Amino acid sequence: MTQQTTSASGGVPGDNPDGVSGGADHAPKQTSLYARRTIGLIGLATALVIAFLLSLANGANPIPYSDVWDAIWHRGENEASWIVWDQRLPRTVIGILTGAAFALAGALIQALTRNPLADSGILGVNAGAGLAVTVGVGIFGIAGITQYIWFAFIGAAATTILVYIIGVAGGARGANPATLVLAGVALGAVFGGITSFLTLIDPDTFESIRNWNLGSVARTSLDDARFVIPFLLLGFVLAVLVSTDLNSIALGDDLAASLGTKVVRTRVVTILAVTVLAGGATALTGGIGFVGLMVPHVVRWIVGPDQRWIFFYCLLGGPVMVLLADTLGRVIARPGEIEVGILTAVIGAPVLIALVRRKNASGL
């Protein structure tokens, strides 16, 4: 009996940083897992640096990497420096911020609902935030990120709570994954339809957010980034605070409560973190879907179920995906561009279909 209790205690994700059973005989396994995760994190950071340089070098006017490097360290008055600093650096920084925010929001939702099909796009959170901003533009005449963000927060929070309430309706223990997806897709479709209707009946009023509604990192500035960064940092801090508790919740609400986890508080803080992250990112770029679905999945294959590692990997993997999609959109449609939200949807839809077909897509 003593041996069984020790094994169970060692296997609780909240007590063991690596989610591996304790004991001297498991030390080599723990070391190997930690080394693999660390190497993966370094590799992902390297990929982010490469994606960053690709984003600065490619566009309507390709710039040699030597000129990009020189422009970064020696800002001048030449054309290359102007393109890098005034045109491409702002959208690259925005891509990094929103990629990290959407990926982390997706990881939080998946952990909270124990649903591998969840993300802020599929569950309608992005669409809810977008509708709120659209209503704000049409009715209240709001303009600019500093006003968009408050409406985005309201829309994201209301949608997150509504979808979750529908998911746990009917007395089910926990949120039903299939119900969550269906509710999110339905609400997202309704919100998207209302948004499209509003923009069509008064195109002049909503012209300023046409590209924004598609999910675009263009037409943004570093000032926009500076305004949103504090909110995204708040979301990250909240995510870190609940990461250990979410590891416990993965075992089930009853077992998590018996381990000392305050389940209700964890859910409230997680929903707040998702609202801040998804709302802030949507205010910047509009809804960029599927980032929060794909990145946590790939990350989970590498690092396992420990939310602390998943969160840090998402902070790097999300920006890599958004930057590569944005760069690809500028290259294949040169001299124009394809919005990053369109490309992530084209890539993400087949991934979602594949996940739905998997037998283990019923829960985490």
Q: What is the pLDDT of residue 11?
A: 40
23 pLDDT above the threshold of 70 = no
The Cβ of residue 198 has, within 10 Å, a number of other Cβ atoms equal to: 18
Span 115-128, average pLDDT: 86
8 pLDDT above the threshold of 80 = no
CATH of segment(s) 97-357: 1.10.3470.10
Helix or strand run (H / E) with residue 10: helix 2-10
Taking the C-alpha atoms of residue 167 and residue 118, their distance in angstroms, rounded to an integer, is: 12
Q: What is the pLDDT of residue 25?
A: 53
Helices 27-57 and 65-73: angle between axes, nearest 10 degrees: 100
Q: What is the pLDDT of residue 2?
A: 42
Least confident of 17-31, 39-53, 158-172, 243-257: 17-31
Mean per-residue pLDDT over the chain, rounded: 85
pLDDT, tens digit (0-9, with 9 covering 90-100), for 142-162: 988 889 999 999 999 899 889
Termini Cα distance of the chain: 28
Q: What is the pLDDT of residue 24?
A: 52
Q: Is 16 left (phi over 0), alpha (psi -120 to 50) or beta?
A: beta
Among 181-185, 205-209, 246-250, 348-352, name the most confident range: 246-250
Q: What is the pLDDT of residue 128?
A: 94
Q: What is the pLDDT of residue 7?
A: 38
